[in-house]
Amino acid sequence: AGTGISVTNGSGAITIASTGGGGFTNMTVFTSPGTFTTPASTTKIKVTLVGAGGSGGCAGNPGPTDTSAGGAGGGYAQGIYPVAASSPFAVTVGSGGSPVVSIAGPGQGTAGNAGGTTSFAALISATGGGGGSVTNNAPTNGANGGAGSSGNINIPGQPSFRNGGAGNSILGFATGQTGEGGSGVGYGSGGNSISANQSTPTGAGAGGVVIVEF
């Protein structure tokens, strides 16, 4: 009572209104690991995060029968949590899957690397997308997208496509032509594959992100 409220005595009516701001008014963005410490007056936070994307696979050479897929997108999660003031929270940001090259010769393809998991202490997390798979003498299945967990909203990353391109995330998208590389952009998107090439690296997955509003 008496705090954050205005009372206006008008003609035939009294107006009572809140004078305090609503919602979250500040934001901190992490693109690498760190620690978030809640300000002294903070009692609630909103956390949005994305796992990292996987890198594309690289088919062997030569190759109409050796195929590769792009990397998959990282998972997404968002939640609102009560917190104690002046409390530290460990922030982990997943690294994007690193590019690969194939070994010379038929049937010597190299699978892509998975993206890393992103988390905010033990409150909320999202796994990274899988690395692009390689299949010799058979069609290639796409990699699985990452998964968000413990959020009020949890959305999986997009899988990569069978014999095709990379998967997107909620906050990032794949670039380049299928089979010609191209790294993910934004946050959590997968890198594209390379078809039958030993010297050109595949597309890298985009790293994850943690966004804290308070």
- pLDDT recorded at residue 67: 80
pLDDT greater than 90 at residue 68: no
Q: What is the pLDDT of residues 76-90, one digit of tens each?
A: 999 999 999 999 999
Mean pLDDT along residues 133-154:
87
Q: Can you say whether the dihedral through the CA atoms of 146, 157, 173, 80 is positive or negative? A: negative
Q: Which pair of tokens denotes residue 24?
A: 């979250």
**Chain mean position to CA 5:** 41
Q: Which residue's structure tokens are 């305090």?
A: 20
pLDDT greater than 70 at residue 65: no
Q: What is the pLDDT of residues 188-214, one digit of tens each?
A: 999 999 887 667 899 999 999 999 999
Mean pLDDT along residues 171-193:
92
Angle made by CA atoms 50, 100, 62, in degrees to the nearest 5: 130
pLDDT greater than 80 at residue 30: yes
Q: Which pair of tokens denotes residue 149?
A: 């967990």
Name the pairing type of β-strands 27-30 and 5-10. Answer: unpaired
- Strands (DSSP E) contained in the chain are 5-10, 13-18, 27-30, 34-37, 44-50, 66-68, 76-82, 88-92, 118-120, 124-126, 134-136, 148-149, 153-155, 172-173, 185-186, 209-213
Count how many residues are written for the chain.
Answer: 214
Give CA–CA dist 144/71, Å, rounded. 8
- pLDDT recorded at residue 125: 98
Q: Which pair of tokens denotes residue 88?
A: 């530290």
Assign 17 to helix, strand or coil.
strand
- Averaged pLDDT score across all residues of the chain: 89
- pLDDT recorded at residue 119: 98
Contacts of residue 80, defined as CB under 8 A and 6 or more positions apart, other chains included, come to: 44, 45, 46, 47, 152
Question: What residue type is 8 in one-letter code?
Answer: T
Q: Which pair of tokens denotes residue 26?
A: 């500040």
Q: Which pair of tokens denotes residue 122?
A: 């033990």
- pLDDT recorded at residue 64: 57
Name the pairing type of β-strands 44-50 and 209-213. Answer: antiparallel
Q: What is the pLDDT of residues 80-135, one digit of tens each?
A: 999 999 999 999 999 999 999 877 666 678 899 999 999 999 999 999 999 998 88
- pLDDT recorded at residue 7: 80
Q: What is the pTM of this model?
A: 0.86
Which range has the worst mean pLDDT, 144-148, 151-155, 158-162? 158-162
Mean pLDDT along residues 132-153:
87
Confidence of residue 45 (pLDDT cuts 50, 70, 90): very high
Angle made by CA atoms 106, 110, 115, in degrees to the nearest 5: 160
